[in-house]
């Protein structure tokens, strides 16, 4: 690197970009230029603002679980971008069958697995889906398919999505840690969420109540948290108040952690800045 005396413009080093599409779907831009897409159901989502054609890339696809609202764009994205698709080991075959994915694209995961990729190290962490009552039972899956106008051959994939859930920790070459976390805010999950000390997190807002969600966010900690799956909460009676109460609790009890309320389709750039004062 050449020596430079003085800096005439602000420099931003090792910039990471995040933008939220809808539901649990985020696109992450790594400092290398590679792109990660999380839980992509975009084009059929009732919350859609941008289509999947707006994605800049999907070198890697990370799936928390295989419910329809997390996977429906996996097939077309994997073919378009030759993606590496990370999914739970039990769900992998059903997912590959439904989207006709070749085996080399699919990375079946179990808790504790560590993948040493070119752009990051990926640790797979056990999770647990939020409570959905009868809608989450095998007996109701056919009714769910009919209700959401989904193909019958998605049934096996949907069933697996209720029983297998994983979170992910990415560690970049500069040691920046990005945690992707979802599922319930039970005491057990909250305890486990506190083990990873991330710099940046993407964390679900589940339905357990403002106190439990705030405890989850406090346990995750770190510098900045981006929420996901909060549109469904906002649609519930009292949902906006629940989120507002949770944000207030985190602000008061964990002032070192900033919760970003993202706008859809807007890139948020995070990096170390260097500038020369006048």
Contact 183, 204 (CB under 8 A): yes
Chain segment 38-75, per-residue pLDDT in tens: 999 999 999 999 999 999 999 999 999 999 999 999 99
pTM of the model: 0.93
Chain segment 13-23, per-residue pLDDT in tens: 679 999 999 99
Of 242, 209, 218, nearest to 131 (Cα)?
209
Dihedral pair phi/psi, residue 259, rounded to 5°: -100, 120
Give yes or no for residue 277 having a pLDDT over 90.
Answer: no
Label residue 12 by pLDDT band (50, 70, 90). low
Query: What does the pLDDT read at residue 1?
Result: 43
**List of E strands, the chain:** 11-22, 25-29, 35-38, 60-62, 84-88, 106-109, 114-116, 121-126, 166-171, 177-181, 200-204, 224-228, 258-259, 268-274
Q: Taking residues 221-239, what's their average pLDDT?
A: 91
**Cα 234 to the chain's mean position, in Å?**
18
């Amino acid at each position: 690197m050449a020596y430079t005396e003085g800096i005439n413009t602000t420099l931003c080093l090792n910039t990471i970009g995040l933008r939220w599409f809808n539901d649990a779907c985020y696109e992450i831009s790594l400092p290398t230029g590679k792109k990660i897409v999380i839980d992509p159901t975009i084009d059929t989502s009732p919350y859609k603002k941008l289509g999947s054609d707006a994605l800049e890339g999907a070198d890697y696809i990370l799936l928390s679980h295989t419910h329809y609202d997390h996977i429906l764009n996996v097939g077309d994205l994997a073919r378009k971008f030759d993606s590496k698709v990370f999914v739970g080991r039990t769900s992998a075959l059903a997912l590959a069958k439904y989207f006709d994915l070749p085996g080399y694209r699919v990375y079946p995961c179990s808790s504790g697995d560590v993948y040493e990729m070119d752009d990051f190290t990926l640790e797979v962490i056990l999770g647990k889906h939020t409570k959905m009552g009868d809608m989450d039972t095998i007996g109701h899956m056919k009714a769910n398919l009919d209700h959401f106008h989904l193909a019958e051959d998605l049934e096996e994939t949907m069933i697996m999505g209720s029983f297998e859930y994983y979170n992910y920790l990415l560690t970049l070459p500069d040691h920046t840690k990005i945690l992707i976390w979802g599922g319930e805010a039970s005491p057990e999950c909250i305890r486990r969420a506190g083990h990873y000390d991330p710099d940046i997190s993407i964390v679900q807002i589940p339905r357990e109540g403002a106190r439990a969600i705030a405890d989850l966010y406090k346990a995750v900690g770190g510098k900045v948290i981006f929420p996901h799956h909060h549109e469904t909460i906002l649609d519930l009676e009292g949902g906006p108040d629940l989120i507002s109460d949770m944000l207030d609790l985190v602000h008061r009890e964990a002032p070192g952690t900033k919760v970003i309320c993202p706008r859809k389709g807007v890139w948020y750039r995070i990096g170390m800045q260097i500038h020369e004062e006048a």
